[in-house]
């Protein structure tokens, strides 16, 4: 996504949000099977709650994607700069780094939050 225009990035984020909501019935069905399996294995209620998806939680995840799409695109923004006495122009420009690292702790929304 680093080379995409702002409009293209926003369109992808909005499409992902729409796809998530559209697939909610299938996601909830698969999640219910996962919860039942984990419950049968003795997983504690606190962990089950973190794993459990609901329509509201899926809507919240999709809403998070929509919120990111509504933000100004920071890529290419010059945060500071100047000209040195010798004429050298310096600029600090925001660039995408990608995902540096992510830790999952049993929460389905972590991917979108990142």
Q: What's the domain range around 41? A: 6-113
Query: Is 26 a domain residue?
Result: yes
pLDDT digits (tens, 9 = 90+) for 18-63: 999 999 999 999 999 999 999 999 999 999 999 999 999 999 999 9
Question: What integer pLDDT is reported at residue 107 of this predicted model?
Answer: 77
The CATH number linked to 81 is 3.40.605.10
Is 71 within 8 Å of 89 (Cβ atoms)?
A: no
Does 1 reside within a domain? no
- Is residue 67 situated within a structural domain? yes
CB 53 within 8 Å of CB 2: no
DSSP class per residue in 11-44: HHHHHHHHHHHHTHHHHHHHHHHHHHHHHHTT--
Here the tokens at position 114 are 């990142």
Whole-structure pTM value: 0.80
Beta bridge partners of 114: none
Number of domains forming the structure of the chain: 1
Please state, in angstroms and rounded to a whole number, the distance separating the CA atoms of residues 94 and 75: 5
- Does a structural domain hold residue 10? yes
| pLDDT tens digits for range 89-110 | 999 999 988 777 777 777 777 7
């Amino acid at each position: 996504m680093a080379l995409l225009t702002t409009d293209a990035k926003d369109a992808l984020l909005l499409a992902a949000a729409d796809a998530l909501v559209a697939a909610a019935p299938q996601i909830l069905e698969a999640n219910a099977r996962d919860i039942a399996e984990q419950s049968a294995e003795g997983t504690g209620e606190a962990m089950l709650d973190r794993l459990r998806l609901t329509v509201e939680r899926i809507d919240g995840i999709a809403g998070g994607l929509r919120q990111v799409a509504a933000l100004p695109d920071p890529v290419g923004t010059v945060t500071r700069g100047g000209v040195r006495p010798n004429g050298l122009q310096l600029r600090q420009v925001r660039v995408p780094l990608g995902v540096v690292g992510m830790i999952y702790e049993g929460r389905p929304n972590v991917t979108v939050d990142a």
